[in-house]
Chains A and B, each alone.
Chain A
Amino acid sequence: MIEIKDLHKSYKMGSNSLHVLKGINFSVKEGELVAIMGSSGSGKSTLLNILGMLDEANSGEYTLDGVPIKDLNETKAAKYRNKFLGFVFQSFNLINYKNAMENVALPLYYQKMGRKERQEKALKYLGQVGLTEWATHLPNELSGGQKQRVAIARAMAAEPKVLLADEPTGALDSTTSFEVMDLIQKINDQGNTILVVTHEDDIAHMCKRIVHLKDGVIVKDEKVKQVRASEYV
């Protein structure tokens, strides 16, 4: 699903440049649930942003579902993001003047799906995250966990190839975190490929594979025995 070869990324900070990713080689197969771990500054978010086409690498190859991702202009990147990727952010990033259903329907709007169809599909995905009765509520009427579930429904509504989650539990208490991870595991059970960036060990161990990043290189890439979040809920 994801193929990365010798990926480099550096940021210019005034006169000196900061080398964040120093040659990453890494691949993800369909249906995997991968945690990317590392302390802050290890480059894990940068890697996720590059995978999400929110940021560009300086050099290296990136293939997503057989499509080489290079020479992206904004329009092309937007189309790929819409077609291939779903995002879940630490700070939810819901549009605050749209209700839960409208937020979930938004990526479908950019797929030029009809209004009726869009709303039906949005309701279906809201149902899957257990928020059907909250469909008409605005984000500020929802709890943190509910917001993140709306965000997950939004990410899944576009039926992406890969779900990218950047610290999805970072802003949540542990009970809610486990609820969210339970949801992510269930989505993975349906065969979806998911990448989760986290610095929390217990969250990482709820994935099937952990990639450890340190100072811009992968130091460890191991398969782990998945801990089911439902055990804690």
Chain B
Amino acid sequence: MFSRDNWKEIFETIQKNKLRTFLSGFTVALGILIFVILFGFGNGLINTFDDFFSDDATNVFYVFRGRTTMPYKGYKSNRQIEFDNSDLADIEKNFALFLEYTTPRISRQDTVKFKEESNNYTTQAVASSHQYAEKTIMMKGRFLNKNDIENKTKYAVIGRLVEEDLFGAKNSIGKYIDIGGSVFKVVGVFQDDGGDNEERIIYMPYTTRQLIEKNTDEIDQIIVGFKPEIGYAGAMAFERSLNSFIREKKYINPKDQNGIFIRNVADQLKQNQQFARVLQIIVGFVAFGTIIAGIIGISNIMVFVVKERTKELGIRKALGATPKSVIGTILLESVFITTISGFIGMLIGIAVLSSFGEKLKDFFITNPYIDLTMATVATIVLIIFGAIAGYVPARRAARIKPIVALRDD
């Protein structure tokens, strides 16, 4: 069945029936092309989605303070809640089991000067572990360390764009800058995936900031990093007990919606993952539909091809073609065309996808891609179903009596 002579016969038939070859090849190539592109776009959507949320660590609670709206235990409502260093120590002591790190954050706007250059930047006074919470990536030098916190050093870590603004192309490491009237030494430059604003930040030790502000021990925000092993349920439980712990310590009515807020990224993460999964299911559904449409398309063409060839098959049978060779001719031809055009469609699709890259970012599609296995499986599925779809009419054609087929005009 697979001899060289049979292939020659099939090639000749394909060559001499260009319209037929084109029709069936085009259907398959188009089906696979659309499948690859749709599936790639789906993956691009998911990529965009991941990008949005992968900027910061996900095993983190952000604890914010606010004003109470309910009186509680002798305190009036509308009381401003304050955090200080002791809160940090208490949280570390009470939740040691869940904790990976904690860090305070004190945000200020400051005028920063270097030689003639000056600009306004957000400074964040933090502990060394803040690097993990924000996923800060060091380009040069180092981040703040424990020594800096203990010794209240006047060291600063500046964002990539701060360096660009103030130093131009020059190196900033070891240089001294003026932050709000105090002189700091630049020890590191960082980058951050969170966008330009996050690269226009200056970090300093929180203890130094407190020293500058009349040796206070107040802090704005508490960031709590928990062990990822505790999982989603553990994180939710931890959030609840942390919430009630702080409320108790600060005398906030447990029913008060305000006073403190905890932003739980774990909860968001779960929602995001669910959303991404729904997205993937939708994409999968659409892709599945495309494949089905492709199968129906190739089936129609096969019925048409066999119908068109009825007379020819009758002649061949009268000249001694066995039913097996009739089926073989039709199937080999269709499998050959669908295989070639299927893989052509697949390669074009992959090429188109990779040419998009970041160009479609405005439409929330980043780096659309399809993995080769998925694309190949889809192509092979289409080929197999094309063959099955071809087999049914081919078998009917092989069974038809030559005398009936010859009468067909």
In this complex, the interface size class of chain A, counting residues with CB under 8 Å from chain B, is 20 to 34
Interface members, chain A 173-223 (any B CB < 8 Å): none
User: Could you tell me the distance between the alpha carbons of A98 and B321 in the complex, rounded to whole angstroms?
Assistant: 16
Of B312, B319, B323, which one neighbours A75 at CB under 8 angstroms? B323
Residues in chain A near residue B115, CB distance under 8 A: none
A113 — nearest CB in chain B belongs to which residue? Answer: B5
B8 in the interface (beta carbon within 8 A): yes
User: Could you tell me the distance between the alpha carbons of A55 and B322 in the complex, rounded to whole angstroms?
Assistant: 15
Cβ-defined contact, A49 with B315, below 8 A: no
Count how many pairs of residues, one from A and one from B, have CB atoms less than 8 Å apart in the complex.
68
Cβ-defined contact, A74 with B398, below 8 A: yes
User: Could you tell me the distance between the alpha carbons of A148 and B399 in the complex, rounded to whole angstroms?
Assistant: 27
B401 in the interface (beta carbon within 8 A): yes
A154 in the interface (beta carbon within 8 A): yes
User: Could you tell me the distance between the alpha carbons of A232 and B401 in the complex, rounded to whole angstroms?
Assistant: 38
Residues in chain A near residue B399, CB distance under 8 A: 74
Smallest beta-carbon distance A78→chain B, Å: 4
Residues in chain A near residue B324, CB distance under 8 A: 75
Q: A95-B315, A97-B13, A97-B16 are in contact. Are A54 and B320 (CB under 8 A)?
A: no
Residues in chain A near residue B311, CB distance under 8 A: 93
B20 — nearest CB in chain A belongs to which residue? Answer: A97
Cβ-defined contact, A107 with B319, below 8 A: yes
Cβ-defined contact, B319 with A158, below 8 A: yes
Smallest beta-carbon distance B315→chain A, Å: 5
Partner-contacting stretch, out of A27-35, A59-67, A81-89, A126-134: A81-89
B105 in the interface (beta carbon within 8 A): no
Cβ-defined contact, B323 with A97, below 8 A: no
Cβ-defined contact, A82 with B16, below 8 A: no
Chain A proximity mask over B390-409: 1 for CB below 8 Å, otherwise 0: 00000000110111001000
B402 — nearest CB in chain A belongs to which residue? Answer: A54
Residues in chain A near residue B401, CB distance under 8 A: 54-55
A164 — nearest CB in chain B belongs to which residue? Answer: B318
User: Could you tell me the distance between the alpha carbons of A83 and B320 in the complex, rounded to whole angstroms?
Assistant: 8
Q: A49-B403, A74-B398, A98-B16 are in contact. Are A81 and B5 (CB under 8 A)?
A: no
User: Could you tell me the distance between the alpha carbons of A106 and B5 in the complex, rounded to whole angstroms?
Assistant: 12
Q: Which 3 A-B pairs have the closest CB atoms?
A: A82-B320, A110-B320, A97-B16
Binding site for B on A (CB under 8 A): 49, 52, 54-55, 74-75, 78-79, 81-83, 87, 89, 93-95, 97-98, 102, 106-107, 109-111, 114-115, 154, 158
